[in-house]
């Protein structure tokens, strides 16, 4: 049972695996060829069943496991008061409309500086990247953000 427990989530599942393994032994006894010890053969059946059950159960999450996980997480990341209550016409939706995140001052300066250095739109230059100490991918992102109408 301890060996089956290594592959499955719960002791109950391990007990089921052991029972399935014994059924497999009884059903397959006539096919045992004697090339290995009986103990080894039974153990391999147990491990195969445990691995199969572990993989199959790995795709499923029980509600009881979720409830325990929710309780162990601690306080909510977002204040529940930000959502409408169950009695409203839109339960669970945001109370206020989402707002744009304010860009950091450093990001705005980098975008403005990069836009000032680039002479042609869409041009990727290693010189600007090395001047500002950023990667080419980051340069494209900053240029995109700097060219947006609401960023100006």
Residue at 58 is within a domain: yes
Structural domains counted in the chain: 2
Mean pLDDT of the chain: 76
* Tokens read off for 109: 């300066």
Q: Is the dihedral of CA 119, 123, 125, 130 positive or negative?
A: positive
Give the pTM. Answer: 0.38
Phi first, then psi: what are they for 110, rounded to 5°? -65, -45
Q: Quote the pLDDT of residue 103.
A: 66
Residue at 92 is within a domain: no
Range of the domain at 39: 2-65
Q: Quote the pLDDT of residue 150.
A: 53
Residue at 71 is within a domain: no
Last residue of a domain, one of 33, 65, 97: 65
What is the rounded CA–CA span in Å between residue 22 and residue 42?
8
The ranges of the chain with pLDDT < 70 are 59-74, 100-103, 113-124, 149-152
Last residue of a domain, one of 65, 83, 113: 65
Residues 60 and 6 in one domain: yes
CB 8 within 8 A of CB 17: yes
Q: Quote the pLDDT of residue 117.
A: 64
Residue at 96 is within a domain: no
Residue at 85 is within a domain: no
């Amino acid at each position: 049972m301890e060996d089956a427990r290594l592959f499955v989530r719960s002791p109950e599942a391990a007990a089921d695996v052991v029972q399935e393994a014994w059924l497999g032994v009884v059903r397959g006894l006539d096919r045992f060829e004697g090339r290995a010890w009986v103990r080894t053969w039974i153990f391999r059946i147990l491990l195969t069943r445990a691995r199969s059950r572990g993989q199959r159960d790995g795709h499923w999450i029980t509600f009881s496991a979720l409830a325990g996980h929710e309780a162990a997480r601690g306080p909510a990341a977002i204040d529940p008061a930000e959502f409408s209550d169950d009695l409203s016409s839109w339960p669970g939706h945001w109370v206020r409309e989402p707002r744009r995140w304010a860009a950091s001052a450093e990001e705005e300066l980098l975008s403005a500086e990069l836009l000032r250095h680039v002479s042609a739109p869409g041009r990727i230059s290693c010189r600007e990247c090395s001047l500002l100490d950023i990667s080419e991918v980051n340069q494209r992102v900053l240029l995109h953000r700097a060219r947006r109408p609401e960023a100006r």
